[in-house]
Amino acid sequence: MFKKNMLLLLIISILYACGGSNTKENHCKNQVDVSNIKINTKVIRFEKELFAQKDTNTIKKLLQKYPLIRDRFFGIKFTKDSINEEKKIIKSLTKMVNDKYLDTLYQDCEKAFGDFKNIENEFAEAFKHIKHYFPDFKEPIIYTTITGLKSFGGLEFYVDKDMIVISLEFFLGKNVRYRPRREEYPDYIWQHYHQKSIVPFCLLFLANGYNQSDLSDKTMAADMVYYGKSLEFVKRAMPCLPDSLLMRYSQQQVKNISDEKNRVFLWNHFLEKKLLFSTKDLDKKAYLEDRPYIAEINKECPARIGQWFGWRIIQNYLQKNKDVSFQKLMKTQNAQLIFEKAGYNGQ
């Protein structure tokens, strides 16, 4: 479909944001037995406690109860201005819990997420798989909250080795009463935010703790390999996650870019434009980051195609180097070595 003389394939109307079509994907790969792995998945429904408070004193006590959320999620820094920062956040949160419109948003989240058990189970299974590969992994505490779409402080989600914080209202799905400003979250980005994206999103950030790299290598190829390693991390943690959900593409887009002729055409574009060893920020932004489509190729080419090729390179590397474990792959900093030993040629 990417060649000018090729007929365009019909694009299905149900995109990734809606959970894909009814077409089944053969997506389970590298499954391992994790039935005997013990983990402790802890979920704290912070928003329930927060909306039970109505004044500054009780909200201050709540933040003292959860200092990680206070300091990291809401960004209280231990400086001479930290007291003033805390006062501002307490005032903002007090305003939020007393806002009748935000109470409606809270009720929408209650209805959509219920007891959060389904997503908790997804995290639990993913944590088991991470622990299988990395026995020293300590599962972070999961907090749910509401930020009024960041209007009252905080982020859409936050991930580090100790905790995961999820602003539920960002993941209500496509047909919501309230959404962020389109200038900040245009449709092509907002469509990625829904319940099925929560765990993969968070795992991509957890991957950073295991994905070692040479920061002095500024080439496109190095960035592609880094993204590829992170995507492989998520796939190992969620072996039955469809590639469409992993890549944030529609199933048809995955089918299109997986077609051999299309794939070779796209890879040749990288070679002809000498993109692989480009160190230009504009090049990397064009092929690795979110945008409606990659205009340098055509309107049918999905964004982040460089990330997808990075994952293909990693898959090739592991197939051709059977002596390299997944754990060793994640520790390998030399992206050029991985790229060369992968021997990827667009196939």
DSSP string, 265-290: HHHHHHHHTT-TT---HHHHHHHHS-
**Do 161 and 277 reside in the same domain of the chain?**
no
**Do 160 and 237 reside in the same domain of the chain?**
no
Nearest to 243 by CA among 225, 231, 259: 231
> Which contiguous run of DSSP H or E holds residue 236?
helix 220-237
**Do 185 and 219 reside in the same domain of the chain?**
no
Q: Is residue 23 part of a domain?
A: no
Q: Is residue 6 part of a domain?
A: no
Nearest to 308 by CA among 260, 252, 266, 265: 266
pLDDT at 209 over 50: yes
Q: At what angle do helices 220-237 and 281-288 cross, to 10 degrees?
A: 30
**Average confidence (pLDDT) over 134-139:** 97
pLDDT confidence of residue 5: 35
pLDDT confidence of residue 16: 36
**Do 178 and 217 reside in the same domain of the chain?**
no
Q: Is residue 176 part of a domain?
A: yes
pLDDT at 86 over 90: no
**Do 84 and 178 reside in the same domain of the chain?**
yes
In the chain, DSSP finds a helix count (H) and a strand count (E) of 16, 4
Q: Is residue 149 part of a domain?
A: yes
- Among 166, 194, 222, the domain boundary falls at 194
Q: Is residue 11 part of a domain?
A: no
**Do 61 and 96 reside in the same domain of the chain?**
yes
Q: Is residue 20 part of a domain?
A: no
Joined together, the tokens standing for residue 66 give 């959860």
**Average confidence (pLDDT) over 173-183:** 89
**Average confidence (pLDDT) over 215-229:** 98
> Which contiguous run of DSSP H or E holds residue 60?
helix 56-65
Cα-based distances in Å from 188 to 44, 112, 130, 184 = 31, 23, 30, 11
**Do 189 and 49 reside in the same domain of the chain?**
yes
pLDDT confidence of residue 18: 39
Mean pLDDT of the chain: 90
Q: What is the pLDDT of residues 18-51, one digit of tens each?
A: 333 333 445 688 889 999 999 999 999 999 999 9
Q: What is the pLDDT of residues 223-281, one digit of tens each?
A: 999 999 999 999 999 999 999 999 999 999 999 999 999 999 999 999 999 999 999 99
**Do 221 and 136 reside in the same domain of the chain?**
no
**Do 186 and 53 reside in the same domain of the chain?**
yes
Do 139 and 164 form a contact (C-beta atoms < 8 A)?
Answer: no
Do 226 and 147 form a contact (C-beta atoms < 8 A)?
Answer: no
- Give the residue with greater pLDDT, 76 vs 219: 219
Do 338 and 314 form a contact (C-beta atoms < 8 A)?
Answer: yes
Do 301 and 180 form a contact (C-beta atoms < 8 A)?
Answer: no
Q: What is the pLDDT of residues 144-156, one digit of tens each?
A: 999 999 999 899 9
pLDDT confidence of residue 139: 97
Q: Is residue 9 part of a domain?
A: no
pLDDT at 15 over 90: no
Q: What is the pLDDT of residues 89-125, one digit of tens each?
A: 999 999 999 998 898 999 999 999 999 999 999 999 9
Q: Is residue 13 part of a domain?
A: no
Report d(CA 75, CA 82) in Å as an integer.
9
**Do 188 and 305 reside in the same domain of the chain?**
no
pLDDT confidence of residue 101: 86
pLDDT confidence of residue 310: 98
pLDDT confidence of residue 174: 82
Which residues have a Cβ under 8 Å from the Cβ of 172 and sit 6 or more positions away?
Answer: 108, 109, 112, 194
- Among 167, 194, 221, the domain boundary falls at 194
**Average confidence (pLDDT) over 208-235:** 98
**Do 156 and 232 reside in the same domain of the chain?**
no
Which pLDDT band holds residue 14 (cuts at 50, 70, 90)? very low
pLDDT confidence of residue 75: 82
Of 72-76, 224-228, 254-258, 320-324, minimum mean pLDDT range: 72-76
- β-strands 157-159, 163-167 pairing: antiparallel
Nearest to 235 by CA among 267, 269, 204, 197: 204
pLDDT at 17 over 60: no
How many domains is the chain built from? 2
**Do 179 and 221 reside in the same domain of the chain?**
no
Owning domain of residue 80: 43-194
Cα-based distances in Å from 314 to 131, 260, 311, 337 = 21, 18, 5, 11
pLDDT at 142 over 70: yes
Q: For residue 44, what are the β-bridge partners? A: 143
Handedness of CA 272, 277, 283, 287 (dihedral sign): positive
pLDDT confidence of residue 90: 94
Do 230 and 204 form a contact (C-beta atoms < 8 A)?
Answer: yes
Nearest to 310 by CA among 191, 185, 213, 201: 213
DSSP string, 111-156: HHHTT-HHHHHHHHHHHHHHHHH-TT--PPEEEEE--TTTTTSS-S
pTM to 2 decimals?
0.90
Encode burial over 300-320: b for 16+ CB neighbours within 10 A, e otherwise. bbbbbbbbbbbbbbbbbbbee
Joined together, the tokens standing for residue 321 give 């180097």
